Structure formats: structure tokens, C-alpha cells
Amino acid sequence: MDALSDLLRVVRLSSGVFLDAEFSAPWCLNSQVTPEECRLARVAPARVVGFHYVLSGSMLLQRGSDAPVELRDGHIVLLPRNDLHVLASATGLQPGELQLQPDPDSGIMRIRYGGGGATTHIVCGLVGTDAEHHPLIDALPPVLTLDVNARPSAEWVASSFRYAAREFAEARPGAAVMLSRLSELLFVEAMRSYIESLPADRAGWLAGLRDPVVGRALALLHERIGEPWTADQLANTVHLSRSAFAERFTALVGVPPMRYLNNWRMQVAAQRLRECRNSVAQIAAEVGYESEFAFAKAFKRAFEETPAQWRRRGAGAT
């Protein structure tokens, strides 16, 4: 299995669709995935990536003071930070106010809104992960657009998504589940497209993922986080000398492999402390620490709190 597939499997994606919208020009709205929309999509991820898929027509998307992005039918746009953004038929319009109510039959929100001109039909949803921080999503730009029409799988993906959206609009049983699975597929396609588009001299986590040696090492570290890795063992596994591997990994990812592993272990441990009732000793073992004391010391160094303090503060926030 390739490194991207390994890492996506470890991330555990969840997804859902919460809005079917048909706009007629002129129109303009603020947009951002809210907790209520997560509830409608029947997911509760720690990290939300919002998306819009344009089934027909065109629209503009603008995040903050960034230049507007033009989107047409067959485009999917991802917002990995779930930033507030504006969707509109043209520039210079003021966002309108809508009171959205879920459809009583499907539980999904539906919009028919605008001034009666040219129409744009979109489906909105989210892809989420259980991890509050993950290098795959952290490395993405704040707005990522994928033209499904330009991909080798374009015809199959586009026809499948349009079919599912039509079933969804007609409130057919299982349509929402079908759209959720296709949303995950489109997310993976967007990841692949973005990684493939990176310049050859680009450094960073995603560039490391694209490299066959470093990508394999990253997949191993994520999949087998509890293994007592050493720099020598990891280098041997990817068939390089220790010095050559360390140099290659550091040049691409930006930190040495063992430091990367320690950072990732802390992120996973922090998530586990918030999400499960396992003891600190059990979580320490899960992320590769033989000693609870050593784990607690490393955790406090990373977060300036003990594992117990972190867990109590997280419980108080829920």
C-alpha cells in the first residue's frame, strides 16, 4: 500500500452532507461549518474540513481578503481550516441572512435562494478527523480547489456524485450515506492532486509524503506509533544508511525523524487523554513509552501540563 493510503487509513476519516442548495443570481452568503451542521451530518469530528461541490452553474468563493476563487460545475473546494468565507454569484454583493431549517423528511437543510437569474446548484458537507492536529491536513493550504473534470477518474466520480445528489434531493433512502462515501473519495482525490502538483524542489511534510523513502517512513511511524523505533531501525526498514536517511528526511520534512516521531506521539497522546478513559500508563504504552514517568515528563515539556492536568482541563471544557 502507498504511503498516502497508509496515512489516510490511520487518520480515520468521517464525512457527511448537510446542505443541498440551489442559488439564482444575484446572491451572496457567508459560509462556515457549524456544530449544528456537524450534528445534521451525523458526525462529531475533532477537526473539520468544509467542502462545497458544484453540481451545475458557477460561483465565487472568497476567504477574508484573499482574491476570489471562481468555481464551476465539477469543482470541489475544500477549506481545511474551516475558515469563514463568502459564496456569491458575483463580487461586490452584500451577504444575505438566511434562517435554515432541516428538511423534516431527510433531516438535511435545503436552500432555494436568490434573485431569479442564472442558477448554481451545490452540495455542502464536511470531512472530519478524530485528530485535532494532523500533519496531512495541517500542511494543506487554507483553500484547496480540485477540478474533478481534469482527473483520470473524472467521468466516474462526477457521474456518481451527480447521481447521489439527485437521489439525495429526492430524499431516497441511503442517499446521504452514498454522498458521504463519495465525499471521502473526493477528499482523497484532492490530496492526490495537490501532492502531484507540488514543485519538484518543494520541501515540507507533503513533499516528504511524495518521496518514496520518506513517505514510507512516515507511513510506518503513523501506523506503528507504539513500536520502539530507533533511527537505525527506521533507516534499515527503508533500506538506507542512518546518515543518508536522516539527511533526506530532515531536508524534506524539516525536522529529524526521531523528533518528528516524538512530536507525533505527543499529539496522539493528547487526543487519547481527551477521548478515552484509559489510564495514563496505558496511553503511554500505546504511543511507545515504556515508562509512565518518562511519558509524563515528555508530555509536560510539550504542553506545559501534566497528562492528568490536560485530561481534567479537557473534561471541564466538554
Give the residue from 16, 50, 22 showing the smallest Cα distance to 110. 22
End-to-end CA distance of the chain: 38
Query: Residues, the chain, total?
Result: 318
Residue 130: burial class (beta carbons within 10 Å; 0-12, 13-18, 19+): middle
Q: Looking at the chain, list the stretches that DSSP marks H as alpha helix, in order from N- to C-terminal side.
A: 3-11, 35-40, 135-138, 154-169, 175-197, 205-210, 212-223, 231-237, 242-253, 257-275, 280-286, 292-303, 307-317
Domains delineated in the chain:
14-197 (2.60.120.280), 206-317 (1.10.10.60)
Q: How large is the greatest C-alpha to C-alpha distance in the chain, in angstroms?
A: 66
**Cα–Cα dist 310/314, whole Å:** 6
Give the residue from 33, 30, 29 showing the smallest Cα distance to 16. 33
Per-residue confidence (pLDDT) for residue 35, from 0 to 100: 84
Residue 288: burial class (beta carbons within 10 Å; 0-12, 13-18, 19+): buried
With a cut of 70, list the residues of the chain below it in pLDDT. Answer: 1-3, 5-12, 102-107, 131-133, 153-155, 157-158, 161, 165-166, 168-171, 173, 175-176, 314-318
**Cα–Cα dist 83/40, whole Å:** 19
Per-residue confidence (pLDDT) for residue 3, from 0 to 100: 63
| C-alpha cell recorded at residue 26 | 444575484
Per-residue confidence (pLDDT) for residue 71, from 0 to 100: 97
**Cα–Cα dist 35/45, whole Å:** 10
CB-based contacts of 239, cutoff 8 Å, min separation 6: 213
Give the residue from 217, 227, 218 showing the smallest Cα distance to 288. 227
| C-alpha cell recorded at residue 68 | 476570489
Give the residue from 232, 228, 223, 112 showing the smallest Cα distance to 169. 112
**Cα–Cα dist 20/121, whole Å:** 8
